[in-house]
Structure 1
Amino acid sequence: MRRYARTLVAVALATTVVAGTAGWASGNAQHALTGPPPGTAAWRSDHVLGRELPDPARDTPAQVALFFRGLSEKDRRTLAVRHPLVVGNLDGAPLELRYLANALALKADPDPRYASLAADPQRQILAFDPRGRGQVAEVFGDLSTAHRVSVVVPGSDIDAGTFDRTNDVYGTPVGMAKSLYAQTGRDSAVIAWAGYTTPVGVGVDAATGSLAEAGADRLTRFTDGLAADGVPAPVVFCHSYGSVVCGLAASRLRATDLVVLGSPGMRADDVGDLHTGARVWAAKDPDDWIDDVPNVEFAGLGHGEDPASAAFGARRVPAEDAHGHTGYFAPGTESLRAFAAIADGTFAVDGPYAVASYAEGGPR
């Protein structure tokens, strides 16, 4: 009875925090973008190669990769030119072909939200879906030759329009990924992945798991696509609500490590509840406002135990000199140094904490 009473108090407090912060505004409610890429219907009906094309909704990334391996370079390019939005978002399609397809799709899209993405033809855009608020993924480094790969999964308020905003840089996928890439070894690559519908503000969507469930499916397929292209299993960095996505994906996710930062919870009671073989790490700095959100999960509200708590059982990442909710990847911080060591596979562990221990050659 006492435990039940504490739960009710925590739920009431969680409701107060969320409502007091941003309100339960229905106008901010988001609908998860799911299903195959835009243009799939035209793709399915196209017989330009005289054969059936893989079904983006039904075929696995491994099946997609096998199909493209049987094509000539000319036929691959024909498909990218005719169906850039499908090829650019087709997990398992060749990496360079996806970069080409997304460059073509961005060049043809008049929406000013995507102007910065389209302006530089050297950007390696691995996914671009203009539907809704827009989704995008970008690669830093050479993904085809990298021995160590990381994926950054962001939290609330991130979409194609805020993907690389210039304010609050280290709270954006591009800012986090670029900062990590600058600190890691020369054979690394980092992917900024904004490939799911994120909550807007701190309202109902942020307090529940429906958007995270859809995001977990998309993240799982994305990492399956990397594997189909011969990319090493990545270290996945999950910020804020992104850690809810990672928690729900954990048991299916191809990853060597899961690193959560500023997490409201992973929809799990402890590391064992994630059912993953990946190493699990957690960081939370002393003045992160996420610490004011009660760690409960009751009647669909809240995301459970704090991954940075001793009870959860994750390895701790030092973050005492990071500031606020978006300061973990700021240059010079202990948390960034530890993240880079985890990404490079050169970390050591001192008690429960990660310690940066760079391999010969050091960071960039």
Structure 2
Amino acid sequence: MATAKARIHGLDMLRGGAAAAVMVHHHAQYYDVLYPGRVPLAIDLGAGHFGVELFFIISGFVILMSLEAKKSVRAFAVSRAGRLLPTFLVTLILATAILTVSPMPPLETPTALQFLANLTMAPSLFNQSPIDLPYWTLTYELLFYIYMAFVLYFGALRQTERLGLLLMAMGCLYWALADIEHHRRTSILLMVHYSSFFVIGMCLYRIHMRAARPITYTALVAALATTAFGGGEQAFYAPGSVYLPLTLAFTALVWLATSHGSKWPVWRPFLFLGQISYPLYLVHVVLGFEIIRFGTNHGWSTLDGVMAAGLASFVAATVLHYAVELPGMRWSRSLLVRARPVALTDSLFQSGQPSSPSVTDASRSGETRPEF
């Protein structure tokens, strides 16, 4: 059991580091892209945006682990909704309120249609812009959840590697033949540029469970190879010479964090960052940008603005974690517990004898932390 806790801690700390990297990228570098005028910091922190790719790998790992534990689409859907929706809705309303009172073009006051589209977590599929910058990743997460729910429904979890290869092949073919800029919604549905990271995570889970087969390693190598073509628009068109080594490094980190017998060091600050990573990821841009703008207008240094924005984001994420995220997780668990006697009764009628309950212990499935 101690080994399992260490593995979960390793993923939590990677998630916390990735969230911090994305936040620093936005506060210290990308703010200047949108709003020039500050004195740049001595160090370029723009590479922090690659934390998103690490998030996707971790998500592929944990979601497959969750699906094998849940055993039903309903349980999976309730769990995901309880963990993700409450925090998302609160941060969406907060960002909308801030931008309504104090718009920051290109972060404009949201329209009613834009707000409604953002409620779906997939505004781009409705030709609407995300209200806050990080929301674009939620669309890929949502699609991944939906696709994996279908895989579970049709009893095809053992075919995830083959299905992943198929999705990556379709994405590569579409990238090679179509004009993605003019067919953006289709490229999102095919998860062009990003399906490979979820596949990497799922393959690492198979390896972790000692359930890897030749097709697992084939899918893993293929997923890594696709990153040699470079990143898409959201990765600022990073060349393959950068994208592939980064992906290899992220893959190695997740493998080390989840390897049996791995003595992954536990550093409490990053562990806590992992616990609040989801609200931190959602809340830091609009809130942080407003603080940086205020500081810039009042003579703060660039470093002062970045530190103030980071501190405010950290405090807001901590409040959201305890006041919204954890209650949402408890709510989803209570729904599943109430539904369990019904499921057990159904199984008795169908088989004539009791069935052993599926593994739902959050500590065993790694579900004690929200995924992206």
- TM bin, normalised by shorter chain, reads under 0.3
Q: Which has the higher contact order (CA 8 A, sep 6+)?
A: 2
Q: Please report the TM-score for the alignment, with normalisation by the length of structure 1.
A: 0.25
Q: Please report the TM-score for the alignment, with normalisation by the length of structure 2.
A: 0.25
Q: Which has the higher strand share?
A: 1
